[in-house]
């Protein structure tokens, strides 16, 4: 069960044709897939396309009715391989993932798919996680499209354009026997807007027919000599077909402008911000009525030579706007123009930065440079641009990197690891992708590298040299359950068994692929009516030959967690040592349990409500607990005591009573300030009676103590 429920969004998937659909970009894509008669959808969750997967998972009954097959794939490679269904059969398939990380994983399958080509439309929807807010390395998907020759659509950030791109994508794919990538940037995925719906369509070709009447075509298999033929097909047939389709259906847009001696060539996805930059330069209005002619590439790849020439011919200069590097478009446009003998000057990365987000401010600067050079008249009177003063505020602001949530079951693992390191010294730690990578942030500062999803274990491989070189310490690798099933079981653990690794492998088993939004995975310990779950990670690692396994079933037990880690790091046992740290992701747990608890309270059942607290008078204000925890609910407050100038610890109302702060204070022998309080909702009469008597007796003792203290009180109470 994912972190968010999409009940409302799912209802929108079945609205009749002609309805105004309101929602975010990635949901519009989901609806468009059904309108396009898609036969199967798969993918791997990750921001910014997780919602596409989550909505489809919640929409299973609708999909069943339409005859659409959906599955969350084991990895992006698995998803890409699923597109093979469209190789021999005229069925439309769509896959989705976060790019470029997912595209990296999927490349092998994609290259094979693109070589043989497809019969049914194959659409690869990539969430381009580039620029501000990105959580991954800064690369663009463009290169993948070029190297395997898959067409790349980059629609305007505008819901009707995005929906149209889905329909165009399938048609282009079928017209050219080529898989098509549809690229959506983060902001486009989360863009709220509206579009008019069409009717959902059942797939024109059913996979049932494929199974019952299988077809094969040896020439589609990537083996010589067919592979050499594929390469020629790509250049001689598929490319020209694509150019013809793009021109015939006017997928790219030409926008006229009065300043016809200059022009701007840009990616569709950048349109809105370019328009805003032009507006701020007094070159356009709110409706995109521009003085500067524009050529908008809703198809980022391939470029259409004739269109490029048509736009540039007769112009003094054009500005090419594409983010990242290298400058694919600028180079290609230069080649086209030189080859055709067109003298137009081509600007791009000389005026715009090589890397980073093309924010409106960056675009405004670049376009201004272009205009100053080729249309200086625009600046006869200086354009006043209200640029704010350089901020004096920067030095005052504390950075706020993301971190583990309140009550996160992974926090105690890292607290325990820090405590284990106190005894055994610091170790080399290989990290992985997932929430657990926040261990690299304050206050833990654990982990030196992250090499990819599920690759935490394998990235410690070279350090197995420790045995050969007589090193006194082992390497430690962290991996999440998501990464484990993605590929870590084979590339990490089985590899460690085979190569007789002596490293320590910590597998964080929180029940879900948590960082991507809490989707189920094979080891999820929940009932999912559509999937087979509860496949224990311990059985899997033992199955591939690991002999030393410790499973901690409650990570919050910091002492047990520390003992397991210390043992793994120091045992004389030779071979991979696997520590499985299990506790459910707190976000999901709260989402599941909160309504149940509220219901139980309403029904009159006995329910315990717990939270933690700190005695301000006992707290020393040293904050050692925070250095070992970093829990968001563990915060600071004034001591209320003039003799204690340092702020004391305080547990705020967001506490979910996971117990970590108390366990750490105990395990690390910090201080006795922490306590857990519970309130009993709907207590029984016996319990009430006992509590009353207790309170009376304890109250009597307390009153006695208070009277005694009053004999030594200086201030009136």
Partner 1 sequence: MNTPGSPKGEYRTAQHEGNPVTRPRSLNIAVMALGGQGGGVLVDWLVALAERAGWTAQATSVAGVAQRTGATVYYLEIVEPTPGREPVMALMAVPGDVDVLIAAELMEAGRALERGLITPDRTTVIASSHRTYATQEKVVPGNGLADSAAVLGLVREASRHLIIHDMQALALSHGSVISASLFGALAGSGALPFPLADFEAVVEASGVGVKASLKALRAAALLAVDAPGAAPLSLPADPMLTAPRPLPERAAAPALQPLLDRIRARFPRAAWPWLGEGLARVVDWQDAAYGAEYLDRVAPFAARSEAVVIEAARWVAVAMSYDDVIRVADLKTRAERAARVRAEVNAGADDVVGTEEYFHPRLEEALGVLPRRWADRLDESPHLKAWLAPRLDRGRRIHTHTLRGHLQLRLVAGLRRFRRGNRRHAEETAHLQAWLTDAAQTPDDALAAEMLRCRRLVKGYSDTHARGSSRFDRLMQAALEMRGQPDAAQRLAALRDGLLRDANA
- 3-state helix, strand, coil split of the chain in percent (to 5) is 40, 15, 40
| CA distances to 476, 504, 571 from 577, in Å | 10, 5, 9
Of 17 and 691, the one with the shorter C-beta distance to partner 1 is 691
Dump the DSSP string for 504-566: EEEEEE-SSBTTTT-B--TT--S--TTS-----HHHHHHHTT--EEEEES-TT-HHHHHHHHH
Q: Residue 193: helix, strand or coil by DSSP? A: strand
Q: Which of 224, 287, 341, 468 binds partner 1 (CB under 8 A)?
A: 287
Distance separating alpha carbons of residues 436 and 364, to the nearest angstrom: 39
Q: Decide if residue 387 touches partner 1 (CB under 8 A).
A: yes
Please report, for residues 510, 541, 569, 581, the alpha-carbon distance to residue 491 in angstroms, rounded to integers and kept in the order given: 21, 12, 22, 20
Cβ of residue 661: shortest distance to partner 1, in angstroms?
8
CB of residue 368 vs partner 1: minimum separation in angstroms? Answer: 14
Residues 479, 432: Cα–Cα separation, whole Å: 5
- 574 vs 694 by CB, closer to partner 1: 694
Q: Which stretch binds partner 1 (CB under 8 A): 163-171, 464-472, 591-599, 705-713?
A: 705-713
* Residue 680 contacts partner 1 per CB under 8 A: yes
Helix ranges restricted to H, 94-158: 101-116, 142-148
What's the 3-state SS for 393-423? CHHHCCCCCCCCCCCCCCHHHHHHHHHHHHH
From residue 480 to residue 519, the character string flagging contacts with partner 1 as x (rule: CB under 8 A) and all else as - is -----------------------------------x----
Largest CA distance in the chain: 103
Binding to partner 1 (CB under 8 A): which residues in 538-577? 559
State which of positions 612-651 bind partner 1 (CB under 8 A).
613, 615, 617-618, 620-624, 626-627, 630, 632, 634-647
User: Which CA distances in Å does 112 have to 115, 240, 644?
Assistant: 5, 21, 68
Helix (H) or strand (E) holding 155: none
Q: How far is the CB of 370 from partner 1 (least distance, A)?
A: 17
* CA–CA distance, 416 with 444 (Å, rounded to integer): 11
User: Which of 9, 76, 129, 509: binder of partner 1 (CB under 8 A)?
Assistant: 129
Interface positions, 179-198, toward partner 1 (CB under 8 A)? 186-188, 190-193
Residues 228-257 contacting partner 1, CB under 8 A: 255-257
Q: Which stretch binds partner 1 (CB under 8 A): 125-133, 311-319, 470-478, 534-542?
A: 125-133
Q: Is residue 360 near partner 1 by the rule CB under 8 A? A: yes
Spatial distance between the Cα atoms of 172 and 245, rounded to a whole number of angstroms: 7
Residue 683 engages partner 1 in binding (rule: CB under 8 A): yes
Binding to partner 1 by residue 285, rule CB under 8 A?
Answer: yes
Size of the site for partner 1 (CB under 8 A): 136
Q: Could you tell me if 120 and 90 are in contact, meaning their C-beta atoms sit under 8 angstroms apart?
A: yes
Q: Tell me which DSSP letter residue 170 carries.
A: H
Q: Which residue, 122 or 616, is less far from partner 1 as judged by CB?
A: 616
Could you give the C-alpha distances from 177 to 165, 209, 229, 281, 594, in angstroms and in order? Answer: 17, 21, 14, 43, 51
Residues 258, 377, 468, 472: which binds partner 1 (CB under 8 A)?
Answer: 258
Site string for partner 1, 196-215 (x = CB under 8 A): --------------------
Q: Which of 218, 400, 469, 470 binds partner 1 (CB under 8 A)?
A: 400
* Closest distance of CB 658 from partner 1, Å: 13
**What is the CA 449 to chain-centroid distance, rounded?**
18
Segment contacting partner 1 by CB under 8 A, of 270-278, 309-317, 545-553, 589-597: 270-278
In the region spanning residues 646 to 675, those forming contacts with partner 1, defined by CB under 8 A, are: 646-647, 653, 662-663, 665-672, 674-675
Q: Which stretch binds partner 1 (CB under 8 A): 126-134, 239-247, 527-535, 569-577?
A: 126-134
Work out how close the CB of 377 gets to partner 1 at its nearest, in angstroms, rounded to a whole number. 13
User: Exposed (0-12), middle (13-18) or buried (19+): which is 533, by Cβ within 10 Å?
Assistant: middle
> Would you tell me how many other CB atoms lie within 10 Å of the CB of residue 593?
14
Cα(2)–Cα(297) distance, integer angstroms: 36
Would you count residue 711 as binding partner 1 (CB under 8 A)?
yes
CB of residue 621 to partner 1, shortest distance in Å: 6
Is 709 an interacting residue with respect to partner 1 (CB under 8 A)? yes
Residue 15 found at the interface with partner 1 (CB under 8 A): no
- Using CB under 8 A as the binding rule, the residues of this chain from 28 to 87 that contact partner 1 are 47-48
Half-sphere exposure of 176 (CA within 13 A, CB side): 30
Q: E strands along 164-313, which residues?
A: 180-185, 192-196, 253-255, 262-267, 294-297, 299-301
Span 425-454, contacts to partner 1 by CB under 8 A: 435, 438, 441-443
Closer to partner 1 at the Cβ: 113 or 281?
A: 281
Site string for partner 1, 136-175 (x = CB under 8 A): ---------------------xx-----------------
> Site for partner 1 (CB under 8 A): which residue of 18, 218, 225, 398?
398
Cβ proximity to partner 1, 225 vs 382, nearer residue: 382
Q: Between 538 and 666, whose beta carbon lies closer to partner 1?
A: 666
CA 195 to chain centre: 26
Is the Cβ of residue 503 or residue 588 nearer to partner 1 in the bound state?
588
d(CA 435, CA 513): 9
Q: Helix or strand or coil: residue 24? A: strand
């Amino acid at each position: 069960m994912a972190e968010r429920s999409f009940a409302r969004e799912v209802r929108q998937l079945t609205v009749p044709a002609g309805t105004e659909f309101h929602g975010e970009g990635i949901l519009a894509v989901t609806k468009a897939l059904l309108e396009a008669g898609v036969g199967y959808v798969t993918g791997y969750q990750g921001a910014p396309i997780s919602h596409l997967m989550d909505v489809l998972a919640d929409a299973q009954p609708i999909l069943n009715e339409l005859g659409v097959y959906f599955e969350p794939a084991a990895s992006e490679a698995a998803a890409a391989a699923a597109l093979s269904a469209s190789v021999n059969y005229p069925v439309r398939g769509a896959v989705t993932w976060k790019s470029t990380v997912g595209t990296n994983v999927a490349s092998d399958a994609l290259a094979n798919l693109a070589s043989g080509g497809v019969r049914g439309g194959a659409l690869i929807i990539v969430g381009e996680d580039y620029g501000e807010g990105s959580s991954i390395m800064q690369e663009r998907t463009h290169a993948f499209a070029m190297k395997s020759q898959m067409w790349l659509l980059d629609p305007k950030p505008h819901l009707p354009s995005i929906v149209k791109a889905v329909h165009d994508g399938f048609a282009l794919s079928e017209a050219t026997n080529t898989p098509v990538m549809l690229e959506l940037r983060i902001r486009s995925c989360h863009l709220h807007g509206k579009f008019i719906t069409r009717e959902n369509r059942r797939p024109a070709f059913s996979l049932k027919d494929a199974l019952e009447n299988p077809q094969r075509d040896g020439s589609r298999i990537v083996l010589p000599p067919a592979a050499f033929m594929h390469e020629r097909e790509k250049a001689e047939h598929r490319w020209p077909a694509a150019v013809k389709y793009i021109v015939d259906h006017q997928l790219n847009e030409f926008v006229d402008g009065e300043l016809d001696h200059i022009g701007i060539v840009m990616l569709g996805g950048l349109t809105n911000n370019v328009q805003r930059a032009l507006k701020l330069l007094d070159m356009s209005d709110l409706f995109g009525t521009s003085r500067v002619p524009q050529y908008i590439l809703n198809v980022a790849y391939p470029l259409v030579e004739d269109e490029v020439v048509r736009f540039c011919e007769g112009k003094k200069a054009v500005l090419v706007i594409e983010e990242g590097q290298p400058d694919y478009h600028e180079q290609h446009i230069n080649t086209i123009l030189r080859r055709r003998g067109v003298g137009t000057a081509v600007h791009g990365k000389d005026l715009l930065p090589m890397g980073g987000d093309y924010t409106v401010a960056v675009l405004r600067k670049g376009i201004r440079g272009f205009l100053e050079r080729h249309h200086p008249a625009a600046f006869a009177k200086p354009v006043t641009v209200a640029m704010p003063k350089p901020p004096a505020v920067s030095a005052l602001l504390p950075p706020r990197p993301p971190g583990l949530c309140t009550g996160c079951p992974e926090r105690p693992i890292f607290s325990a690891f820090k405590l284990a390191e106190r005894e055994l010294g610091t170790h080399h730690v290989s990290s992985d992708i997932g929430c657990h990578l926040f261990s690299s942030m304050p206050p833990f500062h654990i982990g030196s590298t992250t090499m990819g999803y599920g690759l935490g274990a394998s990235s410690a491989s070279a350090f197995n040299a420790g045995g050969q070189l007589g090193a006194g310490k082992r390497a430690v690798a962290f991996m999440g359950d998501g990464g484990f099933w993605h590929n870590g079981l084979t590339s990490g653990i089985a590899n460690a068994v085979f190569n007789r690794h002596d490293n320590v492998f910590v597998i964080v088993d929180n029940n879900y692929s948590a960082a991507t939004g809490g989707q189920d995975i094979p080891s999820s310990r929940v009932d999912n009516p559509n999937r087979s779950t509860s496949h224990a990670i311990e059985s899997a690692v033992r199955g591939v030959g690991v002999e030393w396994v410790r499973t901690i079933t409650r990570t919050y037990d910091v002492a047990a967690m520390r003992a397991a880690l210390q043992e793994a790091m120091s045992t004389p046992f030779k071979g991979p040592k696997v520590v499985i740290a299990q506790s459910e992701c707190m976000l999901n747990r709260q989402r599941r349990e909160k309504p149940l608890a509220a219901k139980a309270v309403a029904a009159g059942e006995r329910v315990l409500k717990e939270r933690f607290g700190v005695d301000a008078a006992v707290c020393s204000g040293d904050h050692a607990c925070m250095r070992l925890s970093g829990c968001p609910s563990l915060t600071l407050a004034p001591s209320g005591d003039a003799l204690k100038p340092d702020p004391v610890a305080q547990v705020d109302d967001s506490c979910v009573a996971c117990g970590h702060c108390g366990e750490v204070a105990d395990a690390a022998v910090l201080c006795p300030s922490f306590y857990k309080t519970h309130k009993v909702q709907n207590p029984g009469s016996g319990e009430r009676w006992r509590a009353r008597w207790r309170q009376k007796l304890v109250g009597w003792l307390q009153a006695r103590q208070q009277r005694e203290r009053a004999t030594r009180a200086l201030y009136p109470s």
